[in-house]
């Protein structure tokens, strides 16, 4: 019988076929829209060191070890072996293999049982994404999902998903999890024998368990290796080498290094976190911290945290959050490197650097370290003593508090806060409206991470670049905080060894690298800080108790600095790295050593000082002035009352009122200017008395039954001998300059006035409330 095929019939066939194909395509996209591919896979977070080796990992929420294998970890050997065993036509089919499906169908029908499978790698991925019972319906769904996978992903990405999801028994999924837990290596380092051994596990994950059934696995492995040889997948030599390789695999554990940093970064998200940590340095630092705190426990100091930054790369190479992560007694799992603490005096170097840049101070500028009161805030030095005249470099070397507060008052709190916020000080940014002058003495909150990052700026000529925890961090931006000149001045001061904060009984400095460092001790001796740097490294150390309990022996110098020195001696021992060189915008000049200002003809004591041209003050020293006095030196004259004859001129040092008061209280003699001519009618202008007590605008609560008197204290100019006190515009009492008086005020608003013997006056107002105490 002959079938006649006409042109019209062929055309009709093509049209029907095209319509059928188009209908199938439309149906696929419709189903793809209605039933989207469930390809959201949760992977274990894997943390690596700077060499890419795994140092920590975390289970998924369903308690699986499912580590993500990246495309570059799929070696050609791994790809070739898996495809040869599982799906040799993987790169040729669209997700399903019709020939394999037909062959498996007829074999299963012929033998009346399932003897052959036809699942491609893509279909196995579909099955791993949606677990179903093995039925005909489930098989058709797998085919549809396979088409979806092939439509959405490239072949390499599908293979990657397969290697990430393939089961290896227990809670292990993915070739990376298996290679790490059984062979302690990454997938791209696996040998042919190891890959083949792993490839047979998914078919029988419950009966072939690495570490328990190694002999059975070797038999099956060798069978597949010989099959690879017969199929010409690998050469005879390659197969023989693989056959000779023993199988010593056993279930291992995931490493848990850098636990504090790993957990911190895990919370930020990501399947693979490539840190900058150098594991060898990390382990050495952890041991140093643990050994050091073991001794410090005798002093009731139980914890410490350390961060090390490589100044060449600005990467964090060591991160120790506590003395022992497994210590459940003293909060070992608390991350001390990221905890907000009071910094004590550790912010002073930045303050003085900013003052240098603003032209307010230079290293040899003289400040007064005497009692001061800023609207009720009266700072004290660490040792409760005062030093009188001090230079800025002395104040920073000795970490004096009062000069620092005066420096912050000169600079302005807001500029200091703005600089810290630009250096990523988060808590200070949140609290900026609540902060006052006390912030420079530790009255603020910061972390060791922030402090170490700040001090790394000093190693980069005043340019702040946030230290990086992860490789390839592209979010870092540099910002100039200090000029190279101001930064150099700070470095020179902090690198001096002859300082009071040099740790007692430290003798291991002979070969220690040159460093600059600053200490800090918080209020109540709760936190001890020591942060040091040179061209190679910045090391930040915090020592204390996570409970917040203070310790009498705790201080930055004697608790934190010894550990800082030990770390530098370990990571940078006997370094010959050159020190920071003097920049072009930093010059030297001769100044008066009594003021730090440009000397005039009367300045006898001179010193060399650093300064910034066109920025540093060029004010000429007027510290010593010629005063007209009577021959017996009992009366001084001004220009208006100086007689034509019968007087002489004498050089006097002009001493500020607060210094006069302090020197008088401490019995320090100085050449006072004689009282002014009482017959002079000139009204003087200049420094009026400063009323130190009571404090202007303050409310005082006084007991009705036993009222305590308030103290009257004023600071006066050097040429004042007497002051006159007035209460509510009524004369109260006269006294010598610097002498303290007392009075009991009435209730309500009280006006207090102080007038010196030159007619200069100052007023303050207070509010008094009488209460039952």
Residue-wise pLDDT for 136-169, tens only, equals 677 777 788 888 888 888 999 999 999 999 998 8
- Give bridge partners of residue 727 from the DSSP assignment: 730, 752
Terminal Cα distance for the chain, rounded: 126
Alpha helices in 338-385 (DSSP H): 348-357
Helix axes 214-230, 192-200, angle to 10 degrees: 110
Note whether 513 and 568 are within 8 A (CB): yes
Question: What band does 208 get if pLDDT is binned at 50, 70 and 90?
Answer: confident
Reported for 147-156, long-range contacts at CB under 8 A and 24+ positions apart, including other chains, are 147/28, 147/94, 147/95, 147/96, 148/32, 148/37, 149/37, 149/39, 149/95, 149/122, 149/125, 150/94, 150/95, 150/122, 151/32, 152/37, 152/39, 155/90, 155/91, 156/71, 156/74
pLDDT of residue 296: 94
pLDDT bin (cut points 50, 70, 90) of residue 56 is very high
Please name the residue that has the structure tokens 């059984």. 182
The position carrying tokens 């000429």 is 620
Contact 505, 561 (CB under 8 A): no
What is the full DSSP assignment across 376-443?
A: TB----TTS---EEEEHHHHHHTT-HHHHHHHHHHH-HHHHHHHHHHTT-HHHHHTTTT--GGGGGT-
List the beta bridge partners of residue 470: 275
**What's the rounded mean pLDDT across residues 302-323?**
96
Mean pLDDT of all residues in 210-227: 91
254: nearest Cα among 69, 472, 66: 66
For tokens 């001129």, the residue is: 649
Token representation of residue 565: 């020195």
How would you classify the pairing of strands 463-464 and 479-480?
antiparallel
- 458 has a pLDDT exceeding 60: yes
Q: Rounded to an integer, what distance in angstroms lies between the CA atom of residue 321 and that of residue 262?
A: 11
Q: Which of 14-28, 96-110, 277-291 has the highest mean pLDDT?
A: 277-291
Q: What confidence score (pLDDT) does residue 573 get?
A: 82
> Largest Cα–Cα distance of the chain, in whole Å?
155
According to DSSP, the β-strands at 648-653 and 636-637 are unpaired
Q: Are 563 and 336 in contact (CB under 8 A)?
A: no
Pairing of strands 537-544, 303-310: antiparallel
Distances (CA, A) of 316 to 267, 473, 671: 18, 12, 57
Q: Is 531 helix (H, G, I), strand (E, B) or coil?
A: strand
- Beta-carbon count within 10 A of 540 CB: 30
Which CA distances in Å does 466 have to 254, 315, 539? 30, 9, 14
| Whether the Cβ atoms of residue 39 and residue 154 lie closer than 8 Å to each other | no
Cα dihedral 518, 522, 528, 532, rounded to 10, equals -20
> pLDDT category, 440, cuts 50, 70, 90?
very high
* Exposed e or buried b per residue across 651-666, where buried means at least 16 C-beta atoms within 10 angstroms of its C-beta: ebeebebbbbbbbbee
As a whole-number percent, the residues of the chain with pLDDT over 90 amount to 55
Q: Per-residue confidence at 116, pLDDT binned at 50, 70, 90?
A: very low
- Reported as a single tens digit per residue, the pLDDT across 484-538 is 999 999 999 999 888 877 777 666 555 678 999 999 999 999 999 999 999 999 9
> Over 80: is that where the pLDDT of 452 sits?
yes
Burial of 376 from C-beta contacts in 10 A (0-12 / 13-18 / 19+): exposed
User: Looking at residue 95, what is its pLDDT?
Assistant: 77
User: Taking a C-beta distance cutoff of 8 angstroms, is the pair 597, 624 a contact?
Assistant: no
Q: For residue 468, what are the contacts with CB-CB under 8 A and spacing of at least 6?
A: 276, 314, 315, 316, 476
The predicted model gives 49-69 an average pLDDT of 94
What's the distance, CA 144 to chain centroid? 51
When pLDDT is averaged across residues 389-397 and rounded to a whole number, the result is 96
Which pLDDT score is estimated for 354?
A: 97
Q: What is the pLDDT of residue 644?
A: 84
Name residues whose C-beta falls within 8 Å of residue 402's C-beta, 6 or more positions apart in sequence.
368, 369, 370, 371, 372, 379, 380, 381, 386
At residue 646, the pLDDT reads 86
Res. 113 pLDDT band, cuts 50 70 90: very low
Helix axis angle for 155-165 and 175-183, nearest 10°, is: 50
> Residue 431: pLDDT band by 50, 70, 90 thresholds?
very high
Residues 6+ apart with CB under 8 A from 115: 107, 108
Strand order in the sheet with 624-629: 636-637, 624-629, 648-653
Confidence bin at 691 (pLDDT 50/70/90): confident
Residue 202, preceding peptide bond in cis (omega within 30° of 0):
no
State the CB neighbour count (10 A cutoff) for residue 375. Answer: 11
Average pLDDT of the segment spanning 330-336: 94
DSSP 658: H
Q: E strands within 77-195?
A: 172-173
Q: In which band, very low, low, confident or very high, does the pLDDT at 115 lie, cut at 50, 70 and 90?
A: very low
The DSSP-derived string for 221-264 is: HHHHHHHHHHTTSS-HHHHHHHHHS------------SHHHHHH
pLDDT, residue 645, reads 85
What integer is the mean pLDDT of 313-322?
96
By percentage, how much of the chain surpasses pLDDT 70? Answer: 92
Asked whether 411 and 355 are in contact (CB, 8 A), the reply is yes
User: For residue 100, what pLDDT band results from cuts at 50, 70 and 90?
Assistant: low
Q: How much is the pLDDT for 148?
A: 81
Beta-sheet pairing, 272-274 with 624-629: unpaired
Taking a C-beta distance cutoff of 8 angstroms, is the pair 493, 396 a contact? yes
| pLDDT one-digit tens code per residue, 228-279 | 999 999 999 999 999 999 998 888 899 999 999 999 999 998 899 999 999 9
**Residue 308: what are its φ and ψ, rounded to 5°?**
-120, 130
Q: What is the pLDDT of residue 382?
A: 86
CA distances in angstroms from 98 to 32, 118, 122, listed in the order given: 21, 9, 13
The token duo for 596 is 């730090």
Out of 103-117, 184-198, 531-545, 755-769, give the one with best mean pLDDT. 531-545
Cβ-count burial 221-234 (b if 16+ within 10 Å, e if not): bbebbeebbeeebb
Residue 341 has φ and ψ, to the nearest 5°, of -135, 165
Write the burial class of residue 601 (CB in 10 Å: 0-12 exposed, 13-18 middle, 19+ buried). exposed
- How much is the average pLDDT of 291-308? 95
What is the predicted pLDDT for the residue at 152?
86
479 Cβ contact list (under 8 Å, min separation 6): 422, 423, 463, 464, 465
């Amino acid at each position: 019988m002959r079938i006649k095929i006409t042109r019209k019939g062929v055309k009709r066939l093509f049209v029907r076929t095209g319509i059928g194909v188009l209908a199938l395509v439309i149906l696929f996209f419709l189903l793809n829209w209605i039933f989207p591919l469930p390809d959201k896979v949760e992977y274990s977070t894997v943390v690596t060191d700077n060499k890419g080796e795994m140092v920590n990992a975390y289970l998924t929420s369903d308690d699986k070890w499912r580590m993500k294998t990246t495309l570059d970890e799929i070696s050609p050997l791994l790809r070739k072996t898996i495809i040869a065993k599982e799906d040799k036509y993987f790169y040729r089919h669209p997700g399903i293999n019709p020939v394999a499906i037909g062959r498996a169908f007829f074999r299963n029908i012929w033998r009346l049982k399932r003897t052959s499978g036809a699942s491609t790698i893509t279909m196995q991925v579909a099955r791993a994404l949606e677990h179903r019972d093995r039925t005909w319906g489930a098989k058709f769904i797998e085919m549809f999902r396979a088409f979806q996978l092939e439509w959405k992903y490239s072949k390499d990405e599908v293979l990657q998903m397969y290697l990430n999801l393939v089961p290896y028994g227990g809670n292990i999924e993915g070739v990376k999890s298996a290679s790490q837990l059984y062979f302690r290596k990454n997938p791209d380092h696996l040998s042919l024998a190891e890959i083949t051994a792993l490839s047979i596990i998914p078919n029988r994950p419950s009966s072939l368990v690495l570490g328990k059934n190694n002999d059975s696995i070797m038999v099956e492995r060798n069978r597949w290796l010989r099959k690879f040889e017969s199929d010409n997948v690998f050469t005879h030599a390659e197969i023989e080498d693989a056959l000779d390789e023993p199988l010593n695999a056993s279930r291992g554990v995931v490493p848990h290094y850098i636990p504090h940093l790993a957990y911190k970064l895990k919370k930020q998200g990501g399947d693979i976190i490539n840190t900058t940590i150098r594991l060898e340095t990390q382990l050495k630092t952890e041991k140093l911290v643990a050994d050091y705190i073991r001794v410090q426990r005798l002093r009731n100091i139980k914890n410490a945290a350390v961060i090390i930054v490589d100044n060449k790369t600005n990467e964090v190479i060591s991160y120790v959050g506590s003395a022992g992560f497994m210590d459940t007694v003293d909060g070992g799992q608390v991350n001390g490197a990221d905890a907000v603490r009071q910094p004590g005096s550790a912010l002073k170097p930045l303050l003085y650097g900013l003052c240098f840049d603003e032209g307010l101070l230079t290293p040899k500028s003289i400040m007064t370290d005497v009692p001061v009161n800023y609207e009720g805030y009266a700072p004290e030095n660490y040792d409760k003593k005062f030093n009188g005249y001090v230079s800025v470099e002395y104040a920073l070397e000795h970490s004096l508090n009062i000069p620092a507060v005066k420096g912050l008052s000169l600079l302005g709190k807001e500029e200091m806060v703005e600089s810290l916020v630009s250096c990523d000080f988060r808590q200070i940014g949140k609290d900026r409206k609540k902060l006052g002058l006390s912030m420079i003495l530790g009255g603020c909150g910061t972390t060791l991470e922030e402090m170490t990052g700040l001090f790394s700026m000093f190693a980069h000529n005043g340019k702040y670049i946030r230290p990086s925890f992860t490789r390839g961090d592209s979010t870092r931006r540099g910002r100039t905080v200090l000029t190279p000149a101001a930064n150099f001045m700070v470095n020179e001061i902090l690198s001096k060894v002859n300082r009071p904060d040099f740790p007692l009984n430290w003798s291991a400095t002979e070969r220690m690298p040159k460093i600059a460092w600053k200490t800090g001790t918080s209020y109540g001796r709760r936190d001890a800080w020591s942060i040091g740097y040179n061209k190679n490294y910045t090391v930040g150390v915090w020592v204390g108790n996570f409970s917040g309990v203070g310790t009498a022996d705790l201080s930055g110098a004697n608790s934190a600095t010894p550990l800082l020195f030990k770390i530098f001696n370990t990571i940078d021992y006997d370094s010959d790295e050159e020190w920071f060189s003097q920049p072009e915008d930093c010059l030297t000049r001769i100044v008066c050593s009594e003021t730090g200002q440009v000397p005039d003809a009367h300045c006898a004591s001179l010193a060399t000082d650093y300064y910034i041209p066109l920025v540093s003050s060029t004010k000429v020293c007027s510290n010593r002035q010629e005063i007209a006095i009577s021959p017996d030196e009992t009366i001084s004259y001004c220009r208006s009352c100086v007689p034509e004859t019968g007087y002489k001129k004498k050089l006097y040092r002009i001493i500020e009122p607060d210094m006069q008061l302090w020197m008088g209280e401490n019995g320090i003699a100085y050449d006072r200017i004689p009282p002014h001519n009482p017959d002079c009618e000139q009204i003087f202008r200049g420094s009026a008395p400063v009323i130190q007590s009571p404090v202007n605008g303050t409310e005082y609560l006084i007991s009705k039954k036993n009222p305590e008197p308030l103290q009257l204290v004023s600071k006066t100019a050097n040429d004042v001998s007497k002051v006159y006190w007035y209460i509510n515009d009524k004369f109260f009492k006269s006294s010598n300059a610097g002498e303290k008086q007392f009075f009991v005020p009435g209730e309500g608003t009280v006006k207090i006035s102080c007038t010196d013997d030159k007619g200069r006056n100052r007023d303050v107002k207070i509010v008094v409330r009488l209460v039952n105490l």
